[in-house]
Amino acid sequence: MRFSELTMKSAVVLLLFVTLIVQVPGECPAQEAENRPNVLFIAVDDLRPELGCYGTESILTPNIDRLARNAVTFTRAYCQQAACNPSRASLMTGLRPDTLRVWDLCTDFRTTVPGAVTIPQHFMRHGYFATAIGKIYHNNIPDPPSWSEEKLHIDGYPFDPDAVYRDDENVAWLENRKAELIAAGTQQQRIDRYGKWYLKAAATEAPDCADNAYYDGAQTDVAVEKLAELKNRKEPFFFAVGYYRPHLPFNSPKKYWDLYDCDRIPLAANPSLPRGAPPMAINTMRELIASYWDFHDAPRPDQGSLTEAQARLLKHGYYASVSYVDAQIGRLLDALERLDLWENTIIVLWGDHGWKLGEHNSWCKMTNFEIDARVPLIFRAPGARENGKTCDRLVEFVDIYPSLCQAAGLPVPEGLEGLGFAPLLDRCDQPWKSAAFTQFLRSGKWVAPDGIAYMGRSLRTDHYRYVRWYNWETGAPAAEELYDHRADPLETVNVAGEPGMEPTVQELRRQLQSGWTGAVPDGLN
């Protein structure tokens, strides 16, 4: 029997258990809910913790920085998997990818754990009105049970609105491409629904246009109007706003590109593949940018590099996109203050995973490296004593669910696999978790160069990142990685096999195995 089948059968028993214990019966009385805080839940796609409030001077994020001055900024927060669907599904359910059996971009957690109760569902059961706009779950896997009303939409935008172009040359290119596809027999409706996969023009553009010419600006118009509506409801609200930038393509109005001198943007400090890293550690698929016509010949990171001009263009586009989204977030914060909602609203801002901008010779996510696993997380609970400070304790995305419950005064459902960090909001320096866990399944289109599927499970401690790779079919250990973050914070050398490291590897191997067998891993308490 294959290892994956063994783990599947074990998972079925666990999932049946989780399905039962994660159900939360009943709702609280309306008068009890009225006094609870609102929640503004802001998701940003592919946002890495390269922001002013994280100490990056080369990027301009005044509005996110403003939020951070009134919140706790977690400097060592980690996602559970560096890919959109598994990361978001894990965060929204408080369950790890192995429990959900969601490791790819196409599995709906409702098919694997149908009884899971998401964060907004739990809040709804306690008297909240929950609504959303933009990308909260993965694009093509929405979750209607999570919302009190149908998720907000904007007319005139395609199913997947991140790959929208406004530059005349790119628009013309797209029209020609559509004509070619139709001539080849592709149906118009399929192009319209899945246009992102058929129609990728340039990887960047910078037209002189208004913010709401792109989806993120247009949805902020709607979100601001929605906040005014939500203010007048009797029940508290849970409002999720999900931004698409800075996901590729790096398209944003020209004024945000003009904030930066391309020649002065610092390039990656670790542009080489880690020495001694096993092949499955590196995402060797032709990078996401190879989907765009102007980067169609981009090499695999193990076979070549982009030119400096290409690298500067992409990083310029990423920075401009971050500043564009930052401006939209500022509009949300302004609306909260203008509507007198600020003092009674919990605000959570998170990016679903990191993103490589030339680090490890890559322009993608989908690895277990620190640059992919570490994420921005800013949490504002009204009245928290540590608001305005940074917290360097290890936290994970599965911790957000119980933490929101604690901050809002709701019971924490049984069966969640995270640890609520509300105590850190009042005392950041107290002892906390000893490890955070990230994983990645290298299979399908992400399969390793040898054609074998591998699961990589990663343990991040104060001192080390340890990764162990397993053959997904047999369960046999295949490779190990060890990065010493005190000596090598950029993870340039895998020291797992170096002389004298075996005792450290054995101990971390034990911690990893111990942590992966419990709902809340022993190594986290």
Mean pLDDT of the residues in the chain: 90
Q: How far apart are CA 290 and CA 288, in angstroms?
A: 5
In SS3 terms, 5-51 reads as HHHHHHHHHHHHHHHHHCCCCCCCCHHHHHCCCEEEEEEECCCCCCC
For 112, other C-beta atoms within 10 Å of its C-beta total 18
Three-state DSSP at 496 gives: coil
In SS3 terms, 116-159 reads as CCCHHHHHHCCCCEEEEEECCCCCCCCCHHHCCCCCECCCCCCC
Say if CB 307 and CB 294 are below 8 A apart. Answer: no
Say which DSSP state 352 is in: S
User: Given this model, what pLDDT does residue 190 score?
Assistant: 65
pLDDT tens-place string over residues 437-454: 999 999 988 888 889 999
Say if CB 494 and CB 466 are below 8 A apart. Answer: no
* CATH entry, 3-167+202-427, from 3.40.720.10, 1.10.3720.10, 3.40.50.2000, 3.30.70.890: 3.40.720.10
Q: Which position among 53, 79, 126, 138 bears the catalytic label?
A: 138
Say if CB 396 and CB 110 are below 8 A apart. Answer: no
Q: Which two tokens stand for residue 311?
A: 């690298």
Q: Which of 130, 93, 129, 122 is nearest to 108 (CA)?
A: 93
What DSSP line would sit under 213-236, residue for residue? GSHHHHHHHHHHHHHHHHHTSSS-
Place of tokens 């000596």: 487
pLDDT tens-place string over residues 384-441: 999 999 999 999 999 999 999 999 999 999 999 999 999 999 999 999 999 999 999 9
Instruction: Name the residue with higher pLDDT: 372 or 159.
Output: 372
User: Given this model, what pLDDT does residue 188 score?
Assistant: 72
Q: How far apart are CA 179 and CA 192, in angstroms?
A: 13
**pLDDT band, residue 524 (cuts 50/70/90):** very low
CA 289 to chain centre: 18
Scored b (16 or more CB within 10 A) or e, 11-44 reads beebbeebbeebebeeeeeeeebeebbbbbbbbb
Instruction: Name the residue with higher pLDDT: 361 or 1.
Output: 361
**pLDDT band, residue 460 (cuts 50/70/90):** very high
Residue 6: is its pLDDT beyond 70?
no
pLDDT tens-place string over residues 91-115: 999 999 999 999 999 999 999 999 9
Find the mean pLDDT for residues 323-336: 98
Q: Which position among 53, 84, 364, 405 bears the catalytic label?
A: 84
Instruction: Name the residue with higher pLDDT: 518 or 43.
Output: 43
Check if 53 is active-site.
no
Check if 391 is active-site.
no
Say if CB 348 and CB 404 are below 8 A apart. Answer: yes
* Lowest-pLDDT choice from 153-167, 213-227, 307-321, 481-495: 153-167
pLDDT tens-place string over residues 227-275: 999 999 999 999 999 999 999 999 999 999 999 999 999 999 999 999 9
